[in-house]
Structures are given as structure tokens and as C-alpha cells.
Amino acid sequence: MDGTFMQNSGVSRTQGLARYGAILRDDKGRWLGGFVGRVGMVTTSCLTLKLWVIQGGLTVAKNFNLKNDIIKTDSREALMLTSKGGVVDNHPDGAVIEECRYFLFELGISVMHTLREGNSCANHLAKLGRMQLDEDLVILHRPPHSIHQLLLADMTHVAYLTYRKHVQ
């Protein structure tokens, strides 16, 4: 799962409307389903976005009765905060962290770190979510045509590099 800030949401890159996308796959990497959605609040940081994305994925997992699965995120900080232990009483995202921890425990789901390059399908879905402006959540029963090549690359363990823009 991955998230993205809306480019033209009227607020800065570090504070704005956000979308997310996630893919459900079997142990061989084949498509089982996916979803795109929007965070129902203005996000103030990338960490806040990642936590809401994990919470959204866990909500979908609960609704579809998915248990003992794995969620992959490219955010080490979100991974640490949602795992057991650590005090979140004073954390600005404490409520969503606690909700994630509750769902993780209830569903027996684990959260693992993946490199950004290993999250290309979810990143693609998050960007597609930008077009779903009117709906909070859209369930995808079939993969969008635009993601087929990325799915095939993931299944054959081919990594696509992401290049950062050159800043002078």
C-alpha cells in the first residue's frame, strides 16, 4: 500500500488532501484485488499519510475478513509506530496508531518494510486514486490495464528504479 498527496489541492505538499492505493496478492504475487481511496482529512505529514493508508488497508482487511496476512509499507517510521510497544500518548497521530495496533492484533496481520521500488504497484494505484475524487473508497476486482506490466515485473522479481528529480 502507498499514498500520494494531491498536486492541486490548494495546500502545500506537506499539508494537503491525499489518496492511497493498495493491492491484494497471493503468495505468488498474483492479483487478488485492490482498492484506491482518499484520506478523509487534511494530512500534515508523510508519516500521517502512511499511517492512514495502513489504517485504510486494515479496515478493508477487516471488512473482507482477511486474517494472518502481511501489509507492506515503504515507511520504516510507520512500521515502528504500528508495531507493539512504544508510547504514543503524546504523538499527534496517536489515535490512528492505536487503531492500527488494535486491528493488527485482532486480525493477526503483520506489517513489513519494503523498498520504495518494491511498492510500485501500490504506488501506481495511489496515483490512479487521484482520479477518484468523489468516492472515499473504490474496490478494484480486476487490475486496471495500466498496471499489468508492473504486476508482471513484480511477479518475475524485476525491480524498476525510481529516480529523484535533480535539484540544484
Q: Tell me the pLDDT of the chain (168 aa) as tens digits.
A: 676 665 454 444 444 567 788 888 887 788 888 888 877 666 667 888 888 888 888 888 888 788 888 888 888 888 877 776 665 677 888 888 888 999 999 999 888 887 766 678 888 888 877 776 567 778 888 999 888 888 888 777 665 555 454 444
Cα dihedral 70, 77, 118, 103, rounded to 10, equals 20
User: Which one, of 165, 159, 128, 161, lies nearest residue 143 by Cα?
Assistant: 128
Task: For residue 136, tell me if it sits in a domain.
Answer: yes
Instruction: Count other C-beta atoms under 10 Å from residue 103's C-beta.
Output: 19
Q: Distance between CA 120 and CA 134 in Å, rounded?
A: 24
For 161, left (φ over 0), alpha (ψ -120 to 50), or beta? beta
- This prediction's pTM: 0.73
Task: For residue 167, tell me if it sits in a domain.
Answer: no
Instruction: Determine the pLDDT at residue 106.
Output: 93
Task: For residue 26, tell me if it sits in a domain.
Answer: yes
Task: For residue 135, tell me if it sits in a domain.
Answer: yes
Q: Distance between CA 95 and CA 113 in Å, rounded?
A: 22
Task: For residue 21, tell me if it sits in a domain.
Answer: yes
Instruction: Determine the pLDDT at residue 166.
Output: 45
Task: For residue 162, tell me if it sits in a domain.
Answer: no
CATH code, 27: 3.30.420.10
Domain carrying residue 145: 2-155
The total domain count for the chain is 1
Task: For residue 80, tell me if it sits in a domain.
Answer: yes
**Full DSSP string of 109-137:** -EEEE--GGGGHHHHHHHHHGGG-TT-SE
Structural Rg of the chain based on CA atoms: 15
Task: For residue 123, tell me if it sits in a domain.
Answer: yes
Instruction: Determine the pLDDT at residue 132.
Output: 62
